[in-house]
Amino acid sequence: MGNVDRRRIYIKRATHISIQSPMSESWMREPRLTRESYVRSEDPQFREWLNPMESRRLSNILKRALVTAIKVKRDSGIEQPEAVITGTGLGCIENTELFLNQLCREGEELLKPTYFMQSTHNTVSSLIGINGKIHGYNSTYSHKGVSFDSALMDAIVQMRLGDINNALVTGNDEITPTYFSILKRSGYVGQEGQVPAGEASVAMMLTTDAEDTLCEIEDFKMVYRKENIGEDTLNTAGPVDAILMGLSGERSNDEAYRDIEGKLPKAPILRYKHLFGESYTASGLGVYAAAQMLKEGTVPAVMRVDGGEPIEGVRRIFVVNHSDGREYTFLTMRRAE
């Protein structure tokens, strides 16, 4: 992070739409487990959040992104954040497919502009800004498995520099049946022993105000290539109670975690993708889950890799993510005092 000001940064509110019950923390008590290789998100009643006329014009990923953003803004009391920053690996892939399929069928003469207009990656962040009349910084990151991490890093850097005091950070991805078949052929998802392919919509409000927050983001580091991961990278301000990893059952993905496991602090290993699914922005769901566990002060037994008992009195969680075994992120999260 360089020599930026060490302002304290907190997650004030966070929510999700995923395989689990939407915009709910019921997964901590009654998690939904599935043996399916591909599961689409369970959507809330969009009509309770969006104007029906507006909702008809939006694809599922845009409705999910908008609803999670609206909920986090309302719950946090920050209706107009100073920045909207989104991470997405695939963007609005469903609209992209619809546009390309129509192009193949009908040529270039009678194309519907809506599919094209809502197919770009930055459509998500732009829609959130337009809907909320948010005129500040607005940006999108699309870097495969560290898309959400890059958005989070941008927010943290700007807040520590003092440029902003709060930011809405979101991660959104959808997986269509067609794209699932492509990812399955590549081995990324859909193989025996792997977690289900899922979809991610997560939103969280970051702030420098410590009052009424879920947890503190104590430290964040991003490292390119594992040989550059030194002891200083993994040093934390104190002992950690658990380490949350993006284990998925895919061989190369899990090996990348095992390769650095010996360097990590000694603590029980947790997982989350078996509950929320695998996607390019699944790491956002991991950060969301860690924030909620810190708020409750407990880790459900279903999160533990070793199958142990729930962990009570949790105060600090170390979150580890990587993309293709090249880009690593390390996030220290601490229960707010």
H-type alpha helices, 60-141: 60-76, 93-106, 113-117, 123-131
Summarised one tens digit per residue, pLDDT across range 27-63 is: 999 999 999 999 999 999 999 999 988 888 899 999 9
Confirm whether 4 is domain-assigned.
no
Counting the structural domains of the chain, the total is: 2
For residue 134, the tally of other CB atoms under 10 A from its CB is 20
Are residues 42 and 142 both part of a single domain?
yes
pLDDT at 67 exceeding the cut of 60: yes
In the structure encoding, which two tokens stand for residue 231, read together? 């002891």
pLDDT tens readout for residues 80-137:
999 999 999 999 888 887 878 878 887 777 677 777 777 788 899 999 999 999 999 9
Q: What is the DSSP string of 261-294?
A: HTTSPSS-EEE-HHHH-B-TTHHHHHHHHHHHHH
Mean pLDDT of 289-313: 97
CB 213 within 8 A of CB 173: no
In a domain? residue 2? no
8 A C-beta contact, residue 158 and residue 164 = yes
Q: What is the pLDDT of residues 133-191, one digit of tens each?
A: 999 999 999 999 999 999 999 999 999 999 999 999 999 999 999 999 999 999 999 99
Report pLDDT digits (tens) over 215-251.
999 999 999 999 999 888 888 878 999 999 999 999 9
User: Distance between CA 74 and CA 80 in Å, rounded?
Assistant: 10
| Tally of CB atoms within 10 A around 233 | 15
Whether 3 is in a domain gets the answer: no
* Per-residue pLDDT at 3: 46
Return the structure tokens found at 48: 């309770």
Largest Cα–Cα distance in the chain?
63
Domain range enclosing 331 = 217-335
Which of 154, 179, 207 represents a domain boundary (last residue)?
207
CATH assignment at residue 92: 3.40.47.10
pTM for the structure as a whole:
0.94
Give the sign of the dihedral formed by CA 72, CA 75, CA 79, CA 83: negative
